[in-house]
């Protein structure tokens, strides 16, 4: 009896999640990056995309933009401060603020810009 209840719960939970249709997920469509220098080393990034599949893809797109921007400005590191992501009508939008720095900044969410840009290139994620 207990085994049947367990199977029933598993089936119910599976029905709530995304269904595997056997088809590969569509590739994300990257629709653009806007950058805005807020103050000295503080930069805001805004991105839009479709077929993101969730917040993580949008956050990675922004991370790629931030890392490339740091390299363009002659800096080697970024530090993430905040990110907001929303979806409306299939269009995902994200905005984030990062600091850029010539040396490894304090904080937990720091990125080595060269490593991040290389990873983005390998994964087909555009940068600035």
Please give the full DSSP string across 41-99, using - where no structure is assigned: TEEEEEEEEES--SHHHHHHHHHHHHHHHHHHTT--EEEEEEEEEEEETTEEEEEEEEE
Which pLDDT tens digit goes with each residue over 19-28? 556 778 789 9
DSSP, collapsed to helix, strand or coil, labels residue 7 as helix
Q: Which pTM was predicted? A: 0.80
Per-residue model confidence (pLDDT) at position 107: 80
More confident residue, 40 or 92: 92
Query: Which residues touch 104 (CB under 8 Å, ≥6 apart)?
Result: 77, 110, 112
Count, residues in the chain: 128
Report all structural domains of the chain as residue ranges with CATH numbers, in order of start.
31-122 (3.30.70)
């Amino acid at each position: 009896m207990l085994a049947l209840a367990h199977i029933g719960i598993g089936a119910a939970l599976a029905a709530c999640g995304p269904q595997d249709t056997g088809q590969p997920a569509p590739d994300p469509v990257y629709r653009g990056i806007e950058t805005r220098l807020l103050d000295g080393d503080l930069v805001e990034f805004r991105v839009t995309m479709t077929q993101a599949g969730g917040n993580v893809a949008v956050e990675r797109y922004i991370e790629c933009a931030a890392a490339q921007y740091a390299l363009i400005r002659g800096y080697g590191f970024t530090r993430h401060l905040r990110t907001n992501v929303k979806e409306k009508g299939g269009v995902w939008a994200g905005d984030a603020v990062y600091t850029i720095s010539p040396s490894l900044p304090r904080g937990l969410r720091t990125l080595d810009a060269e490593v991040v840009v290389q990873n983005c290139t390998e994964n087909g994620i555009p940068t600035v």
